[in-house]
Amino acid sequence: MSDILILNGRLIDPSNQIDAPRDLLLRNGRVVAIETPGALGSVEVAQTIDASGLIVAPGLVDIHVHLREPGQTYKETIATGTAAAAAGGYTSVVAMPNTLPVNDTVAKLEWMLDAQRGSLVKLFAMPAATVGSMGEKLTDFEALRQAGAVGFTDDGKPILEDEMMHAALIAAARAEVPVSQHAEDTRLTGGCSMNAGSMAFRLGLRGMPVEAEARIVERDIQLLRDIERTEGLRPHLHVQHVSTARAIHAIRLAKREDLHVTCEIAPHHFALNEEAVGDYDTHTKMNPPLRSELDRIKMIEALLDGTADCIATDHAPHAAFEKKQEFERAPNGITGLETALGLALRVLHRENSLPLPRIVDLMSTAPARIVSLAGRGTLGPDHFADIVIFDAGTEWTFTAEASRSKSRNTPFDGSPMLGQVRYTICEGKIVYQA
Q: Where are the beta strands (DSSP E) in 36-146?
A: 47-50, 55-58, 60-65, 90-95, 122-125
What string of DSSP letters covers 198-249? Answer: HHHHHHT--EE-HHHHHHHHHHHHHHHHHHHHHH-----EEE-S---HHHHH
Upstream peptide bond of 235 is cis (omega within 30 degrees of 0):
no
Amino acid at 78: I
Q: Give the span between the Cα atoms of 219 and 158, in whole angstroms.
A: 12
Distance of CA 170 to the CA centre of its chain: 24
The overall longest dimension of the chain from CA atoms, in Å, is 68
Of the chain, the end-to-end C-alpha distance in Å amounts to 20
Q: Which of 23, 154, 314, 386 is catalytic?
A: 314
C-alpha 138, offset from chain centre = 24
- Rounded to an integer, what is the distance from CA 238 to the centroid of its chain? 12
Do the Cβ atoms of 31 and 381 come closer than 8 Å? yes
Catalytic site residue 314? Answer: yes
DSSP reduced 3-state for 264: strand
Mention every residue, 6+ apart, whose C-beta is less than 8 A from residue 266.
64, 241, 243, 311, 312, 313, 314, 336
Give the three-class secondary structure for 331.
coil
Q: For residue 219, which of 159, 294, 279 has the smallest C-alpha distance?
A: 159
Planar angle of CA 341, 177, 188, nearest 5 degrees:
75
Supply the residues annotated as catalytic. 314
